[in-house]
Structure 1
């Protein structure tokens, strides 16, 4: 069983994934952290030094490596992962994969991102809440067709325990 969490930045994928892994007693992998460990540098540095095309290529390669493993696991994808290469197809073709889109409203995503800008290179330059709302709204609109192809759409705007309970109820 491979549980894949996808959704926009700040939708709670890492938080939910790590908690869910403890409950189900299986491995948890955050794809961005995995890439950083393998490459020996931050995602931000990879983007700066090698560019997005290089990053998307290695992201695809590491995704293949992870989902082809025989182990049960929970994997949180980067916000853009399902939108590039053949990443979504890789997930949909694998019979062991069950994917969950953590859906969070734009205004909540914008609020979370304003509080975490320093850790998010994509939005670090955004100056105020209105600009953040506009950025997130447009960006999320572009990504929703990919996110909506997940096996399940989960309301990610609930308390952590409820989100986890909703995921578990779909699995068993």
Structure 2
């Protein structure tokens, strides 16, 4: 198989990491999570970076590490943080480097059902009351969907399993 670089974008809880691992496994290529790559390089958690150095520092580092990933001369599946496509010219950069950017489009209700269970692990929403979650996700998704929709491919989840979504992605590879 020729070199293939697959990038998954979407809102938190859309399944980028889970689906990405399945796709990478299926294709027998490396799976990379940009947030984990940043944490490894910076020797601190994303939450700590935000808290200690601020979002602007983090967003600059995010661009730097995104560039490093694409310098790799190998096939991979890359899962981005939910905000990555929305800053700088990240989506344009990604789309210029690969024809395989995928937006995992998950509805607000499905996202809310997933995220309410893992709120304490999500710094952006951990402080919200459960009854404020739907409104927050809806507003945030509205702001970000402009960037997510720039992806070359859109995968709409209608309560599909991660394996079914991975299959949809693999079937779109030429």
TM-score class, shorter: over 0.9
Pair 1:49 & 2:91 matched: no
Shift, 1:97, TM fit: 4.3
- Aligned partner of 1:40 in structure 2 is 43
In structure 2, C-alpha distance between the alignment counterparts of 1:13 and 1:148, rounded to whole Å: 15
Among 22, 26, 29, the residue aligned to 2:29: 26
Shift, 1:162, TM fit: 1.3
In structure 2, C-alpha distance between the alignment counterparts of 1:137 and 1:12, rounded to whole Å: 17
- Aligned partner of 2:155 in structure 1 is 154
Q: What are the residue-to-residue correspondences of 1:122-161 with 2, within 5 Å? A: 122-128=124-130, 130-156=131-157, 157-161=159-163
Among 16, 27, 35, the residue aligned to 2:19: 16
In structure 2, C-alpha distance between the alignment counterparts of 1:76 and 1:161, rounded to whole Å: 16
- Give the TM-score taking structure 1 as reference length: 0.96
Shift, 1:68, TM fit: 2.2
Q: Is the 8 A contact 2:34 2:66 kept in 1?
A: yes
Shift, 1:118, TM fit: 1.1
Once the two structures are superposed, residues 91-117 of structure 1 have per-residue CA deviations (whole angstroms, 9 ceiling, x without a partner) of: 1211x3410000000011111111001
In structure 2, C-alpha distance between the alignment counterparts of 1:47 and 1:114, rounded to whole Å: 22
**Count of matched residue positions in the alignment of Structure 1 and Structure 2:** 170
- Give the TM-score taking structure 2 as reference length: 0.95
- Aligned partner of 1:4 in structure 2 is 7
Among 54, 69, 72, the residue aligned to 1:66: 69
In structure 2, C-alpha distance between the alignment counterparts of 1:21 and 1:161, rounded to whole Å: 12
Say which is worse superposed, 78-87 or 157-166, in terms of deviation. 157-166
- Corresponding residue SS for 2:113: helix
- Corresponding residue SS for 2:57: helix
Q: Is the 8 A contact 1:4 1:97 kept in 2?
A: no
- Corresponding residue SS for 1:100: strand
- Corresponding residue SS for 1:51: helix
* Cα RMSD (Å): 0.9
Segments ≥4 residues shifted beyond 2 Å: none
In structure 1, C-alpha distance between the alignment counterparts of 2:88 and 2:136, rounded to whole Å: 23
